[in-house]
Amino acid sequence: MPPLPGAELVRSAVQLYRYLLRCCRRLPDESARQHYRHAIRQSFKVHADEDDPERIQQIIKRAIEDADWVMNK
């Protein structure tokens, strides 16, 4: 599956969160959707106190790459 349109427009944590949840909707298996939704929420809780803009951009880039990998799997 190709990545969702708009991945290149993700610039903030909220935009990333919405993008990743939209990716989850495209997964064919309900248990996989639940697993990845839970993982997304947990990851956001872990990184909620991050305030370095460069680190936030690194996290966003890596999350999009990981989401693309999951969607192509």
Each as own residue / partner, the long-range contacts of residues 52-59 (CB below 8 Å, 24 or more positions apart, any chain) are 56/13, 59/16
Q: What is the pTM of this model?
A: 0.82
Q: pLDDT value at position 3?
A: 55
Question: What is the residue type of 48?
Answer: A
The token duo for 16 is 């990333």
pLDDT per residue as tens, the chain (73 positions): 455 666 778 888 899 999 999 999 989 889 999 999 999 999 999 998 999 999 999 999 999 999 989 888 7
Q: Residue 10 has what pLDDT?
A: 87
pLDDT of 52: 93
pLDDT at 4: 66
Give the integer Cα–Cα distance in Å for 70 and 11: 21
Please give the C-alpha separations between residue 15 and each of 10, 30, 38, in angstroms, as whole numbers: 5, 23, 17
